[in-house]
């Protein structure tokens, strides 16, 4: 008999197949994008509210069914499934109300007639969600701590050991949604920075998620040695190149195999670029304003600025939690990093660009804690009751960064620092005006402990399968459409195609995993006939 562990992340889905007899992982399958249109969790939430949650649910479930086929097991023998993720992703997956996650405060929800949903631990029949699994297969869903503090945050605290720490400790999942928790004594303060997709290599011209072929690290000053993930998602030596021109100085084991750059590689390139003078924010100082890596992969000024905004959101989030706890930077002892980016990134480079507080003495890098906790549930279903008790007993308060004054004040300075070149002296002066503590410099090296070599430590004896093309399309036909393809040309993600047919002569098909959703809408604005209605398109038929 088999079990399947699932992590529904903001940037994609990951799965393990497990042999229930010996508890060993058999195989692993991942997507490289999320099937619901949008670049971050708020885009996915907006899609549910403004477009159609049923459609978002169908996209997720259809993707899960496609991914299950890649696990190379007899699915008729799957006995149980466990799924973990943030509150929005788990709500979409289960198709339960999401509007309570969109509005901060009881008053905002009450005036809209929105009730807070219970997100306790539950066991349901997998077939009821549309999963192509046996009738008696049960799905285990771990609990949220509060409706804003989800199962992924619980996994992050549980798997890193944060809850047992006596020292002041901060943990962050370095992903698009950037969940973070600060533990001071018995109290925990949480937040979510919505850092954006650049942290995972998305919305970067040559960007990609952490998967085979991704440049994951850069080392050097005048000559840059690239590190590239191999087929087992392990970092291997790539080429040494001149960042000014891309000229190969020395070929590495991964020569010719780089497909793009992941978020950790972007972080490393910016850290090295700042140190070498190739970057003077917000400018790249090379002759063509590009940083050249191996195999034609480049970073442009736009990429650097996009990533820097992520750095600013992360640092503002950490700053905000410390201020709410009344804790000085110098009083923070330990930093935990989780998620793919938290695993592969050079922690000291990440600290140089502000992704970690500058004063912590110890840094621990963990893997994908959400998938790891789902795996624990597959191996021991009784853990679900333990997690429910744990979630109920955690004394946690959640800071909504979107409406928090401290976050707003710090993030404004971060934007000025990264996008306008504000000096650090001016940055700290503005914080002092706002009665906030200054940002101290890095004065000592931290001890870094990498607990795993990749974000998914064990791929199983059958290895990893990557679903690069999810192959799900949403479509529609609009009265007045002439088939001019202006929307196709305007789409920055090449997500749209048009063919003759449909109710009104032409039918548009949008690759759901490529589309940036309601945060973009360039297709609709580009339509000369003004007949393209994005929201109506989303309500069209789904096909693969």
Residue 25 lies in a domain: yes
The contacts of residue 197 (CB under 8 Å, 6+ apart) are 11, 39, 40, 176, 203
For residue 274, give the nearest of 283, 265, 263 by alpha carbon.
283
Q: Cα(192)–Cα(88) distance, rounded to whole angstroms?
A: 12
- Tell me which residues of the chain have a pLDDT lower than 50: none
The DSSP-derived string for 40-56 is SHHHHHHIIIIIIHHHH
CATH of the domain at 21: 3.30.420.480
Please check whether residues 24 and 73 belong to one and the same domain.
yes
- The string of pLDDT tens digits covering residues 224-244 is 999 999 988 889 999 999 999
Q: Cα(508)–Cα(498) distance, rounded to whole angstroms?
A: 5
- The 3-state DSSP composition of the chain as helix, strand, coil percent (nearest 5) reads 35, 25, 40
Please check whether residues 463 and 525 belong to one and the same domain.
no
For residue 81, give the nearest of 368, 372, 378 by alpha carbon.
378
Please check whether residues 462 and 488 belong to one and the same domain.
no
Residue 111 lies in a domain: yes
**Segments forming the whole domain that contains residue 20:** 2-149+371-392+457-467
Q: Are strands 396-398 and 464-467 parallel, antiparallel or unpaired?
A: unpaired
How high is the pLDDT of residue 541? 53
Please check whether residues 462 and 519 belong to one and the same domain.
no
- The string of pLDDT tens digits covering residues 468-514 is 888 889 888 999 999 999 999 999 889 999 999 888 999 999 999 99
CATH of the domain at 507: 3.30.70
Please check whether residues 114 and 59 belong to one and the same domain.
yes
End-of-domain residue from the set 434, 467, 500:
467
How high is the pLDDT of residue 199? 67
Q: What is the pTM of this model?
A: 0.86
- The answer to whether 40 and 197 are in contact (CB under 8 A) is yes
Please check whether residues 379 and 487 belong to one and the same domain.
no
Residue 504 lies in a domain: yes
Please check whether residues 462 and 481 belong to one and the same domain.
no
Q: Cα(131)–Cα(3) distance, rounded to whole angstroms?
A: 13
Residue 316 lies in a domain: no
Q: Cα(246)–Cα(229) distance, rounded to whole angstroms?
A: 19
Please check whether residues 375 and 494 belong to one and the same domain.
no
CA dihedral sign of residues 479, 482, 486, 489: positive
* Total domains in the fold of the chain: 2
Please check whether residues 59 and 97 belong to one and the same domain.
yes
Please check whether residues 49 and 91 belong to one and the same domain.
yes
- The answer to whether 266 and 201 are in contact (CB under 8 A) is yes
Phi-psi region of 530 (alpha: psi -120 to 50; beta: other; left: phi over 0): left
The contacts of residue 470 (CB under 8 Å, 6+ apart) are 31, 33, 35, 63, 66, 511, 512, 513
Residue 422 lies in a domain: no
Residue 214 CB-half CA count within 13 A: 27
End-of-domain residue from the set 439, 467, 495:
467
Q: Cα(525)–Cα(471) distance, rounded to whole angstroms?
A: 26
Alpha helices (runs of H) in 455-497, residue ranges in sequence order: 486-490
Residue 358 lies in a domain: no
Q: Cα(271)–Cα(348) distance, rounded to whole angstroms?
A: 9
The DSSP-derived string for 113-160 is TPPPPP---EEEEGGGGT-SS-TT-EEEEPPPSSSSS-HHHHHHHHHH
A 10 A CB-CB count for 518 gives 20
- For the chain, first and last CA: distance in Å? 30
End-of-domain residue from the set 467, 489, 521:
467
- The answer to whether 39 and 517 are in contact (CB under 8 A) is yes
How high is the pLDDT of residue 466? 93
Using the 8-state DSSP alphabet, how is residue 461 labeled? T
Q: What residue has token string 């700053």?
A: 319
How high is the pLDDT of residue 536? 84
Residue 157 lies in a domain: no
Please check whether residues 495 and 529 belong to one and the same domain.
yes
Q: Cα(410)–Cα(321) distance, rounded to whole angstroms?
A: 12
Residue 189 lies in a domain: no
Using the 8-state DSSP alphabet, how is residue 6 labeled? E
How high is the pLDDT of residue 198? 62
Q: Cα(233)–Cα(213) distance, rounded to whole angstroms?
A: 8
The angle formed by the CA atoms of residues 249, 250 and 254, to the nearest 5 degrees, is 130
Please check whether residues 115 and 42 belong to one and the same domain.
yes
């Amino acid at each position: 008999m088999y079990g399947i562990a699932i992590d529904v992340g903001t940037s994609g889905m990951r799965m393990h197949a497990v042999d229930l007899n010996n508890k060993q992982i058999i195989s692993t399958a991942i997507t490289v994008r999320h099937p619901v249109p949008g670049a971050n969790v708020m885009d996915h939430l907006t899609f549910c509210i403004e477009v159609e949650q049923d459609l978002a649910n169908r996209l997720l479930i259809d993707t899960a069914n496609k991914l299950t086929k890649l696990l190379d097991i007899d699915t008729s023998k799957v006995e149980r499934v466990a799924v973990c993720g943030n509150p929005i992703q788990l709500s979409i997956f289960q198709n339960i109300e999401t509007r309570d996650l969109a509005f901060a405060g009881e008053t905002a929800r009450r005036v809209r007639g929105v009730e807070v949903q219970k997100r306790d631990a539950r066991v349901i029949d997998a077939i009821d969600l549309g999963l192509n699994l046996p009738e008696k297969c049960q799905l285990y869903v771990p609990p949220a701590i509060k409706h804003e503090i989800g199962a992924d945050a619980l996994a992050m605290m549980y798997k890193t050991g944060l809850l047992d720490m006596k020292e002041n400790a901060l943990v962050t999942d370095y992903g698009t949604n950037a969940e973070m928790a600060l533990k001071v004594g018995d109290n925990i303060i949480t937040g979510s920075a919505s850092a954006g997709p650049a942290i995972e290599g998305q919305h970067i011209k040559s960007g990609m998620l952490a998967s085979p072929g991704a440049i994951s690290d850069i080392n050097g000053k005048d000559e840059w040695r690239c590190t590239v993930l191999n087929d087992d998602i392990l970092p291997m030596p790539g080429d040494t190149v001149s960042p000014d021109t891309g000229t190969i100085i020395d070929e590495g084991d991964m020569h010719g195999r780089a497909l793009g750059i992941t978020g950790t590689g972007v972080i490393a390139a910016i850290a090295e670029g700042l140190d070498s003078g190739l970057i003077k924010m917000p400018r790249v100082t090379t002759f063509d304003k590009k940083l050249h890596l191996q195999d034609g992969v480049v970073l442009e000024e736009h990429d650097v600025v996009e990533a820097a905004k992520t750095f600013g959101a992360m640092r503002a989030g950490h700053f905000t939690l410390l201020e709410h706890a009344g804790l000085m930077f110098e009083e923070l002892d330990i930093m935990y990093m989780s998620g793919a980016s938290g695993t592969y990134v050079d922690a000291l480079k990440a600290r140089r660009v502000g992704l970690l507080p500058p004063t912590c003495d110890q840094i621990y890098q963990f893997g994908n804690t959400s998938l790891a906790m789902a795996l624990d549930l597959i191996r021991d279903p009784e853990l679900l009751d333990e997690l429910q008790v744990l979630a109920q007993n955690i004394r946690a308060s959640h800071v909504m960064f979107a409406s928090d004054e401290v976050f707003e004040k710090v993030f404004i300075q971060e934007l000025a620092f990264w996008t306008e070149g504000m000096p650090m002296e001016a940055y700290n002066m503005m914080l002092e005006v706002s009665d906030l503590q200054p940002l101290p410099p890095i004065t000592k090296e931290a001890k870094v402990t990498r607990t795993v070599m990749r974000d998914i430590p064990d791929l199983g004896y059958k290895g990893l399968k990557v679903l690069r093309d999810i192959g799900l399309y949403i479509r529609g036909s609009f009265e007045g459409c002439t088939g001019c393809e202006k929307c196709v040309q305007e789409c920055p993600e090449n997500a749209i195609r048009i063919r003759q047919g449909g109710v009104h002569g032409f039918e548009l098909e949008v690759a759901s995993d490529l589309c940036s959703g309601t945060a973009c809408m360039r297709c609709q604005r580009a339509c000369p006939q003004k007949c393209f209605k994005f929201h109506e398109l989303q309500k069209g038929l789904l096909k693969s």
